[in-house]
Amino acid sequence: MSRRSLVLGVWLGCMVLAAIIVARARYIADLSAFLPAHPTPTQQLLIDQLRDGPASRLLFIAIERADSGTRAQIALAMAVQLRRDAQFSLVNDGEPVGLEQDREFLFGHRYLLSDSVTAQRFSAAGLHAAIQDTIDNLASPAGLLLKSLLPRDPTGEFPHLLDQLSNASQPSSNDGVWTSRDGARALMVVQTAASGSDTDAQERAIASIRNAFAVSSRVSPERAGAQLRLSGPGVFAVMARAKIKTAVVRLSIASSALVVVVLLTVYRSVPALILGLLPVTTGALTGVAAVALAFGAIHGVTLGFGITLIGESVDYSIYFFVQSRRPQPGTQSLAWQRLWWPTIRLGMLTSVCGFASLLPSGFPGLAQLGLYSISGLIAAALVTRYVLPSLLPRGFSIHDLGPFGAGIARLLRPLREHRGLVIAASVAAALLAVTTLYQHRATLWNRELSALSPVSAADQHFDATLRADLGAADTMDLVVVSAPTLDAALRGAEQAGAALRPLIEAKAIGGFDSPVNYLPSLETQKARRDSLPDAATLSADLRRASAGLPLQSERLLPFVTDVEAARQAGLLSRRDLQGSSLGAAFDALIMQQKDRWNALLPLHAAAPGQAIDTARVIAALKLARLDEARVLDLKQESDALYSSYLAEAIHLSLAGFGALIVLLAVALRSLSRVARVLAPLALAVLVVAAALAACGVQLTILHLVGMLLIVAVGSNYALFIDRQESLHEAGGEPLTLASLSIANLCTVIGFGLLSFSQVPVLVALGTTVAPGALLALLFAAALSPRESHA
Amino acid sequence: MHLLAMRQHGQAEFVEQQFIGILDHPVESSGVLRYDAPDRLEKRTLKPHEESLVLAGGVLTVERGRSRRVLDLHAYPQALPFVESIRATLAGDRAALERVFRLDFTGDLAHWSLALVPLDPRMAKSVAEVRIEGTQDQLLKVEIRQPDGDHSLMTLRPLAAP
């Protein structure tokens, strides 16, 4: 077997293997690319909340346009249809639906559920006070509605229970359904049965909602004028996935097409084009396969970054074709291998150095990008070195680029003739950039996770408006009580509740929800049941209690019967709540993590828009010695998380840069050459960062990655120009300049297109690398010390 | 009606007695009733317990101690006649009254009486009849009779508008 067929065989075998891996890989598109791979327990809780927590399963429905009555009719019809759909565990449009069943449950178990049930309350004095209070309540129209319950519930446990549950402020209503505060839209909230991270299920649920709206708005012409708008985490996840998908597909097609046009124009040869794309496709395929093997699943965003590889790996074949078109006929490949392969190899290694610094990142998105780029670049370079020469057809030639390169050299000549001026200008640009960056130092980095969200600011604002209207705005602060069993968690929640109650009086918080409002711990239930007196005692006490009251104790016989029944009844368990909206509310406040149970107590602000003083909450819990209770500020926690990853990425990038310097120093064996290679790169990075800051763009982790890419791509340019100088070869420079310009054009096209996508992470990358790569080449060419030979 | 419709706002002290079958004697409460044209009615009870009840734009807000409850009257038809009878009469809004009640107006301007019977059977379950007595553009008495024989009587004494 010849060496040629061996090389081709190995290459083809690898490609088939990679294709199989890529075809069988799993692709994911949720926010988890930006969540840590090895979280601490608090972070895990946060991630579970974001991915699967009750809040992640909420979808907000708004019906706009048309008049208020029509909107309400549509909402009511939709609610009927959605309630029949098993995809939704809860459908709430403000109707008192399910209230009857819930009321029966609450009324039937009022002596276990009400926190005012104590032995003292059932003494003669306690009964007297409670009954007096209930009679006073009858004077109000709200009390009048409860009049019929008086003989059975003279102590008012049931109305107290309703108060206990309606802690949160209710949204306003109009025409029988919830409406926004400005009255412009009818509102509904649904909770999906599937978790928020199940994007497919969320997509199906959203389709069902749209369908329900379409069905109910078809009924009459005035209904047809209404408009549906959706929001919530599931909507965002589906939107983000669709956006990333279309962006990746569209951008790959567009940049491939443009690169093909450029290459065809340059080579004027179809075989050259096909051969030129081989390193690119090999690199992309290898990169995806490597990520699939190492991570198990590929993030959609990683594929988006993949486009960027088109821009860099196409460079290798360009260098190969253009450089191998040397004056000595018949020896092109050999000359290329001797003269230029070491430079390409060094350029590839510097890129790998940069990307390797991403590998240890705890941010799966970055680690995947690192691995993808490293494996892709190595594969592309190897294909260029070993496969392409074997595939060159006899008599292969491309269009002569000498004149083109000479033209570029002419353009550069004025710069080179005034080298002192160019250096002065560069130094000035660097100083200006540093000054700008220094001025923006406080706001240079965006430390909020939402900066990476593919959801537009307008959509985020709409979501915030709906949440505010629905009173779901301030569920970002939680007290979490963790325990090994559900009952222990409930006991902890009761203790935490007792510690929090003084804070309501002090107006530090407005209130809080607690799972124990729906299901108290067994201990508490038992204590309440034990505090109920037997029938004889109760009757006697009632006779004494009714002295001075307008209510004869004989009329309260149903009360005595009910209390006796409660004394004999069993305690409530989670099973008793199942299937009711009370059960759904309870489940929303309980989370199970492996062998731990967490009770969630969402805190409400004392006034709308007011921040919750978490320090006081922590102090109150500490005072009560509740070690298993923690305060979780979801937004702060997730931002802190992102901030720590940003800091980590900055350190890793600096380390990568350091490694790159060492690599260059070893390969070039000259500090001044290292400085000449690095200066254009550093200048390009500085100027781009300063320009972004000056335009008011806050840098994110993706801008950082972009800077790394500038160094990775730009190092090739600087190294080639450096190599050209060291060759002292007359007439060679135009070819080098031509190949670099074409490679640069392809890179700028690939990354430039990213800036037009709707996905912020891709935009960040595009707007950094496209100008950065251009600047890197310009600086490298302008700063090269030698007079032009052209 | 026309005279009532001309009034922009008014304020009155009230004393309300609830006669409830199960109780030996009536429950009494008192406070201030305030009206602003066309659709805001506030009933502020001072004794025996402070309570505020505000009807504005079809939504009833009940505030009592720390608790606050918002009821949309469309969703709670049983609560509607209690407040809408007084509000629509104060507004002189005959059309609104006729949407909810069968009207029977007797007497003269110096001493008139308006009997209101709910049309909607759901409302009729909670209110059998509302009787309002007044003189000129002032309300003097509001009596609400429930189907089970319980009833309430509110006596009003106008206050000078602030």
Give domain status of residue A279, yes or no: yes
Interface test with A, best of B50, B72, B74, B142 (most A CBs within 10 A): B72
DSSP state letter for B76: -
Q: Provide the pLDDT for residue A194.
A: 85
Complex ipTM over 0.90: no
Q: Can you tell me the distance from the alpha carbon of A322 to that of A339, in angstroms, rounded to the nearest whole number? A: 13
Give domain status of residue A90, yes or no: no
Give domain status of residue A305, yes or no: yes
Q: Is B37 on the interface with A (CB under 8 A)?
A: no
Residue A521 has pLDDT above 90, yes or no: yes
Confidence of residue A788 (pLDDT cuts 50, 70, 90): very low
Confidence of residue A334 (pLDDT cuts 50, 70, 90): low
* Amino acid in position A653: S
- Is residue B51 within 8 A of residue B34, CB to CB? The reply is no
Nearest residue in B to A137, CA atom: B49
Q: Provide the pLDDT for residue A787.
A: 47
Average pLDDT over residues A758-777: 88
Nearest-by-Cβ selection for B29 from A139, A170, A551? A139
Residue A789 has pLDDT above 50, yes or no: no
Averaged pLDDT of chain B: 80
* Cβ-based contacts of A170 with chain B (< 8 Å): 69-70
Q: A698 is in which domain, residue-wise?
A: 3-25+237-452+638-783
Q: Which residues of chain B register pLDDT less than 70? A: 1-8, 66-78, 160-162
Nearest partner of A508 among A600, A621, A602, A607, judged by Cα:
A607
Q: Is A635 on the interface with B (CB under 8 A)?
A: no
Q: Is B157 on the interface with A (CB under 8 A)?
A: no
Q: Is B47 on the interface with A (CB under 8 A)?
A: no
Give how far the C-alpha of residue A324 lies from the chain's centroid of Cα atoms, to the nearest Å: 47
pTM over 0.80: no
Q: Is B53 on the interface with A (CB under 8 A)?
A: yes
Q: Can you tell me the distance from the alpha carbon of A559 to that of A149, in angstroms, rounded to the nearest whole number? A: 10
Residue A205 has pLDDT above 70, yes or no: yes
Q: Is A435 on the interface with B (CB under 8 A)?
A: no
Q: Can you tell me the distance from the alpha carbon of A40 to that of A50, in angstroms, rounded to the nearest whole number? A: 15
Least confident of A39-48, A221-230, A648-657: A39-48
Indicate yes or no: CB of B27 within 8 angstroms of CB of A139.
yes
Confidence of residue A790 (pLDDT cuts 50, 70, 90): very low
* Residues A659-681: tens digit of each pLDDT: 888 988 998 888 888 888 899 99
* Cβ-based contacts of B58 with chain A (< 8 Å): 174
Q: Can you tell me the distance from the alpha carbon of B79 to that of A145, in angstroms, rounded to the nearest whole number? A: 8
**Best CATH choice for the domain B2-159 from the list 3.40.430.10, 2.50.20.10, 3.60.21.10, 2.40.160.40:** 2.50.20.10
Strand order in the sheet with B151-159: B67-72, B59-64, B51-56, B40-47, B27-36, B9-19, B151-159, B138-145, B129-135, B111-118, B101-108
Give domain status of residue A183, yes or no: no
Structural domain count, chain A:
1
Give domain status of residue A776, yes or no: yes
SS3 A440: coil
Nearest partner of A673 among A543, A516, A783, judged by Cα:
A783
* Cβ-based contacts of B49 with chain A (< 8 Å): 136-137, 139
Nearest-by-Cβ selection for A163 from B25, B67, B82? B67
Task: Report strand pairing: A58-64 vs A186-192.
Answer: antiparallel
Q: Provide the pLDDT for residue A525.
A: 92
Q: Which of A378-392, A659-673, A682-696 has the highest mean pLDDT?
A: A682-696
For chain B, which residues make up each domain, given as ranges?
2-159
| Rg of chain A taking only CA atoms, in angstroms | 35
* Residues A275-314: tens digit of each pLDDT: 888 888 899 899 999 999 998 888 877 776 666 676 677 8
Interface test with B, best of A73, A135, A144 (most B CBs within 10 A): A144
| CA torsion through residues B36, B37, B40, B46, sign | positive
Indicate yes or no: CB of A141 within 8 angstroms of CB of B20.
no
* Residues A256-281: tens digit of each pLDDT: 888 888 888 888 888 888 888 888 88
* Cβ-based contacts of A550 with chain B (< 8 Å): 23-25, 27
Confidence of residue A683 (pLDDT cuts 50, 70, 90): very high
For A3-13, letters b (16+ CB in 10 Å) and e give eeeebeeebee
Q: Which two tokens stand for residue A347?
A: 């350029």
Please report which helix (H) or strand (E) contains residue B10, including its range: strand B9-19
| CA torsion through residues B129, B134, B137, B139, sign | negative
Q: What percent of chain A has pLDDT over 70?
A: 88
Nearest partner of B99 among B113, B76, B116, judged by Cα:
B116
For A521-557, letters b (16+ CB in 10 Å) and e give beebbeebbebbbeeeebbebbeebbeebebebebbe
